[in-house]
Structure 1
Amino acid sequence: MPTTTSHPPRYSATPRRRRAALLAAGASLLLPLAAAAPALAVPAPGPSGSPALSPGASTKPGASATPGKAADGKAKPPPKRLPPAKMSTVGGELLGRPGPQVQLGPGAPELPRDLSGNSWLVADAETGDILAANNAHWQLPPASTLKMLFADTVLPRFPKTQKHQVKPSDMEGMGEGSSQVGMKEGLTYSVHDMWMGVFLRSGNDAVHTLSAMNGGVAKTVRDMQDHADELQAEDTHVVTPDGYDAEGQVSSAYDLTLFARSGLQKADFREYCSTARAQFPDEDHPGKTKEIVNTNRLLTGQDGVPAYKGMAGVKNGSTTNAGNTFTGVAQHDGKKLLVTVMNPETKERNQVYKETQLLLDWGFEAVGHVKPVGVLVPPKGGFPADKGGTTDGQSPQGAQAAVTGGGDGMWTAVGLTGGALAVLAVAGFVVNRRHPLPERGRRRAGHAAPPKNPQNPPSDPPQD
């Protein structure tokens, strides 16, 4: 086999017949190797979906393999971060291996080629079966997708109607450049308002205020870590409640998907994460409200990203260390999928949403045609029964639960009445079967429909 050297090999003037004989012999040696290659040994894709090159490698014949130098001798960017050779095997042995893992069956589509996420995962939200994954247990900075764990931990502790006047100490410790919904010291907010700020605007001011109500940031971090341990999210180490970059704070595509699946057991969580627009107290005009728009582009159809049919949440994030992260849930024709994508290497605007859409499209086509590569494990104590799941003891307005067939019996769908906000209802996870999300993206929570061409929301802040 030829090797890459600093100088291209020199070939002597070999007679034509001899060259032909050498080529034939080489081919005969390569054929058995090709036949012996495992069918599913897929090299990790590079930024454009092509196999990733090892550090110092070059696609040009005879190029120098000296690390840190390109063929022309100029300095080149540092090599792409590589996943650990061995990772956690929670959920299945294949999930501990680096690179894409998929077991295609008859009629299964090939994985999308244009995937650059350092880590991603596609799972059946009903059964927990993982249809495909890439570095599922790679511990990476999670950004604001960690707010799913924050909400799943803290949301049940306060009635949504409870009021709280913000004190100066409530918002201490927020990181520089944090995304905020616009809370102001001295003003009073309902718990419901604050959760809208957490989910729609990724408001770290709302997170820190709710943390203060919960006994402080340090206690909230401990509570979140305890809950992550209960969910068997062993890749997660919590340092901040809001996902802001902090040394040692990590999670994984696997764990983030566990947080989403656990949160979706709660009716309030489902309501907040599926709300496209809502009214929030205006800090500059006390007594009045302003409209806030969910930064989840696949839910709202904003910033050049079309709303994804059947999308119902869950949470996006973006920080310097984490890059862009996203966990989404959607339903098509009775199939319910969860997808998580962490830090796409392709640094194009909205790339995390594009790759999520590719994986959702693939997953809906692949369900029933692939052998699972793992499973989302249940909490240590199992999933608790959802008896309404709201923090005010009332059922979500306009939601009528109806148990669906199939699955493990814990999933239900919701029928909508009037103009009520679409939510995912009792006993687990709810998405309307008739794909109402594009319409939902045009509604305000509890208000009349906004203009047909609403102003786009601000771009994702650099630290949310």
Structure 2
Amino acid sequence: MSSASWPPVRVGTAMVVCAASLLVTCGPAVADGPHGIDDARSVGSGPATGSRLHQPGVQFLPRSGVPGPPDVTALSWAVTDARSGRILAAKDAHRRLPPASTLKTLFALTVLPKFPQRAAHTVTDADLAGILPGSALVGIKEDVRYSVADLWRGVFLSSGSDAVRTLATMNGGWDKTVADMGAMARRLGANDTTVRSADGFDSEGQFSSAFDLSVFGRAGLANPDFARLASTKTAKFPEAGGERAFGIQNTNRLLVGSHGVVPYPGLIGVKNGYTTNAGNTLVAAAERDGRTLLVTVMNPQTGSENAVYEETRALLDWGFAAAPRAAGVGTLPETAPVEPQLDTDGAVRDSQHAALLNEKAEHADAAPGMALAGERDTQRRTLYVWALSVAGASALAGVGLWWRRRKQRNAPPAPPI
């Protein structure tokens, strides 16, 4: 008699098969998307950047039913599925170019977690020292008390170098903040970036890339405070009001709709920039039908002041159409969440860290972007572990039943009474 014919084994096998089916159903959904099956198989198992991204020119893998990316004039660009980090197409993604104010995304990743949004700071002359002529300003005044949230709105909405300078002083100074930003870039795997000025103002030797800026944008969207600030269209500055309060509006024309640019449906930020040397730069994210796409565009060559917005619009439109079936040409590196810095004694540097945690909890549901992606992934992992446990228990039960029956069959007959 073959072992497969033993009833206990058949029962155990059926249980294992059921558990395995459950594993397939509940395991990590690496390749599924809201529109159908997203094919991630073409992204190799090599370095996270993907070898194709280091090649010159447009990188895109043609596929039946997938349109090619639009012909845009930017020197460098990338279209990324923000949740998976899969880069759908790119042009010269690692080309090192001046980033202008899009580098403020890295500044925010570095400094934002260090101070509670409700904390307050009275600005001094020293805070504003060193601002270069031609820098964008939100209009911070000396001897006025601002909340940290006010200062960050000055960074994200008005791209204010005065707000950056003030926060950098709170962080320990300009040079320290520049060094911290460089360390953060390395931590995130953004190896094309060299920081010389925390606000992104043109500085000799300062560079980033479409790849690195996409890394910063994606990491930022995972932070509820960052995502909320990046998507804020208008605000009162300072928010508490008073005689000196005034309104500010986000300078990202694709978000608010201004200067002849129609707002993009579902746009959630992230950051725009311009300098004479860098030209126009933009990191933009948008949501549609449960999918978040991230587009980075650096220095369009048409000469139109709105080219960066219109080329970003074209790439977003293409990305949403192509994403369900497009084969990736590389992936962004996976990064751990950026947490508040700790002192050597293990205590959080800012004594009001509890307030920061409370605020993050308050904004978690309202923050756009990827703040809920971690929760969904945790649920998948929980189901996966549960199904694996069921499979193991089922297999052990089947073996136990088989062994018990075998001992019963092989046992000598009981003596007659």
Matched, 1:426 2:371: yes
Q: What is the CA-CA distance between 1:391 and the residue it aligns to? A: 6.0
Q: Which of 353, 356, 378 in structure 2 is aligned with 1:392?
A: 356
Q: Which of 97, 116, 122 in structure 2 is aligned with 1:159?
A: 116
Q: Which of 157, 174, 180 in structure 1 is aligned with 2:137?
A: 180
Which residue does the alignment assign to 2:247?
291
The residue type equivalent to 1:292 in the other structure is I
Instruction: Call closer, same or farther: CA 1:345–1:300 in 2, change over 3 Å.
Output: same
Q: Distance in 2 between matches of 1:385 and 1:223?
A: 14
Contact 1:104/1:369 (<8 A) preserved: no
Q: What is the CA-CA distance between 1:116 and the residue it aligns to? A: 0.4
The residue type equivalent to 2:154 in the other structure is G
Partner SS state of residue 173, structure 1:
coil
Partner SS state of residue 104, structure 1:
coil
Matched, 1:341 2:297: yes
Q: What is the CA-CA distance between 1:398 and the residue it aligns to? A: 7.4
Q: Distance in 1 between matches of 2:154 and 2:200?
A: 15
Matched, 1:274 2:238: no
Instruction: Call closer, same or farther: CA 1:429–1:316 in 2, change over 3 Å.
Output: farther
**What TM-score do you get using the length of structure 1 for normalisation?**
0.65
Q: Distance in 1 between matches of 2:128 and 2:374?
A: 33
Which residue does the alignment assign to 2:263?
307
Instruction: Call closer, same or farther: CA 1:369–1:424 in 2, change over 3 Å.
Output: closer
The residue type equivalent to 1:347 in the other structure is G
Instruction: Call closer, same or farther: CA 1:391–1:118 in 2, change over 3 Å.
Output: farther
Q: Which runs of 5+ in 2 are unaligned?
A: 1-46, 341-352, 376-417
Which residue does the alignment assign to 2:86?
129
Matched, 1:93 2:51: yes
Q: What is the CA-CA distance between 1:120 and the residue it aligns to? A: 0.1
Which residue does the alignment assign to 2:40?
none
**What TM-score do you get using the length of structure 2 for normalisation?**
0.72
Partner SS state of residue 152, structure 2:
helix
Q: Distance in 2 between matches of 1:426 and 1:361?
A: 23
List per-residue Cα deviations over 1:160-194 (Å, max 9, x = no partner). Answer: 11111111111111121100000011111110000
Q: What is the CA-CA distance between 1:106 and the residue it aligns to? A: 1.2
Q: What is the CA-CA distance between 1:104 and the residue it aligns to? A: 1.9
Q: What is the CA-CA distance between 1:105 and the residue it aligns to? A: 1.2
| Aligned sequence identity (%) | 48
List per-residue Cα deviations over 1:340-384 (Å, max 9, x = no partner). Answer: 0000011112100000000000000001222100001113xx346
Q: Distance in 2 between matches of 1:228 and 1:398?
A: 28
The residue type equivalent to 1:142 in the other structure is P
Partner SS state of residue 152, structure 1:
helix
Which residue does the alignment assign to 2:343?
none
Q: Distance in 2 between matches of 1:424 and 1:334?
A: 10
Instruction: Call closer, same or farther: CA 1:358–1:395 in 2, change over 3 Å.
Output: same
Matched, 1:147 2:104: yes
Which residue does the alignment assign to 1:242?
199
Partner SS state of residue 259, structure 1:
helix
What is the CA RMSD across the aligned residues, in angstroms? Answer: 2.4
Q: What is the CA-CA distance between 1:426 and the residue it aligns to? A: 3.5
List per-residue Cα deviations over 1:60-106 (Å, max 9, x = no partner). Answer: xxxxxxxxxxxxxxxxxxxxxxxxxxxxx751000001100000211
The residue type equivalent to 1:332 in the other structure is R
Which residue does the alignment assign to 1:117?
74
List per-residue Cα deviations over 1:30-64 (Å, max 9, x = no partner). Answer: xxxxxxxxxxxxxxxxxxxxxxxxxxxxxxxxxxx
Contact 1:267/1:390 (<8 A) preserved: no
Which residue does the alignment assign to 1:199?
156
Q: Which of 76, 79, 103 in structure 1 is aligned with 2:61?
A: 103
Contact 2:364/2:371 (<8 A) preserved: no
Partner SS state of residue 347, structure 1:
coil
Q: Distance in 2 between matches of 1:281 and 1:323?
A: 30
Matched, 1:253 2:253: no
Q: Which runs of 5+ in 1 are unaligned?
A: 1-88, 402-413, 415-421, 431-464
Q: Distance in 2 between matches of 1:390 and 1:149?
A: 24
What is the total number of aligned residue pairs between the two structures? 317
- Which structure carries more helix by proportion? 2
Contact 2:53/2:330 (<8 A) preserved: yes
Contact 1:214/1:220 (<8 A) preserved: yes
Contact 2:225/2:363 (<8 A) preserved: no
Partner SS state of residue 369, structure 1:
coil
Q: Distance in 2 between matches of 1:385 and 1:198?
A: 20
Q: Distance in 2 between matches of 1:424 and 1:127?
A: 13
Q: What is the CA-CA distance between 1:333 and the residue it aligns to? A: 1.2
Instruction: Call closer, same or farther: CA 1:127–1:391 in 2, change over 3 Å.
Output: farther
Q: Distance in 2 between matches of 1:188 and 1:269?
A: 22
Q: Distance in 2 between matches of 1:351 and 1:321?
A: 16
Q: Distance in 1 between matches of 2:158 and 2:268?
A: 16
Contact 2:49/2:333 (<8 A) preserved: yes
Q: Distance in 2 between matches of 1:197 and 1:169?
A: 18
Instruction: Call closer, same or farther: CA 1:390–1:356 in 2, change over 3 Å.
Output: farther
Structure of higher CA gyration radius: 2
Contact 2:86/2:330 (<8 A) preserved: yes
The residue type equivalent to 1:172 in the other structure is A
